[in-house]
Amino acid sequence: MSKIYLSAKLPELGTKLLEDAGLDYRVYEGEGLISKKDLIEAIADCEILICPLSTQVDRDVIDAASNLKLIANFGAGFNNIDIAYAKEKKIYVTNTPVVSTNATAELTAGLIISLSRRIVEGDRLMHDQGFDGWAPLFFLGHELKDKTLGIIGMGQIGQALAQMMNAFGMKILYHQRHALSAELAKKLQVTYCSQEDLIQQADILTLHAPLTAETHHLLTSETFKQMKDSAFLINAARGPLIDEAALLQALKTGQIAGAALDVYEFEPQVTEGLKELSNVILTPHIGNASVEARNQMAEIVAKNAIALENHEPIKHIVNGLD
């Protein structure tokens, strides 16, 4: 019987599936995130590691578990795992794609609305000194109707966001390596353009690209100089897509009007200075933090563990092992 280690607690649905299948598992019960030392000690005799994005699984960790057969990552991304080394060791690495699409798109839409209408800023004001009453020029924000939304990365999340924001009457531009089919672009009411044109035209720029060597620091000081000084930036994808030092400077000097971040370049640390800016919204990586999405993610990792035990096909393998 496979020995399974969970480096973080799962939604109850996931552990119940493991229990119902009669699988032996242990869960990290410590405070905060598991340390590398504790992880190495815990998985010495394990065949399956179920871990969240916050658990770093490098060569040292992989080498510490000579019986390891599966690393089931609880998240759509897998940058926390050395997938090439896992492949070399013939260890399956899986993720939980698609199921977080709607939740992440909804959060992005919420950040767009909140930033444009200064909702979080207004909440802070009311929790602090309050206000003197309604006035014609007080606390003005911007409507989304007829504004241009620029989406970099038109995968599942980008497409879901486009469908949502069409309801607000926005003009939607997108860029990625390959254009969508004409039929799908028409259905989503989106227009393909170059990244440079998108950056220059967008009233709101939102990132939904994967983190690769090519997309690291996709947005830099030069990028911010090309944006409208009235533009807002949203990042609910991967933190290192943005050079945050350059972003901080752009916000301070008025090169762009504001930003909303759910992910960070040096996560969980936030670049010094961003917290002090009133035109910045910061959320703690909650893109797919909905009960519905996390339950579906738990179901995927648990069912992959069960499939390995039963010698059945494993789904969502990301490191090329068949």
- Catalytic: 47? no
8 Å CB contact between 301 and 75: no
Active site residue 127: no
The one catalytic residue among 121, 142, 217, 267: 267
Q: Which of 238, 294, 299, 316 is catalytic?
A: 238
Identify whether 178 is a catalytic site residue.
no
Q: Give the active site residues.
A: 238, 267, 285
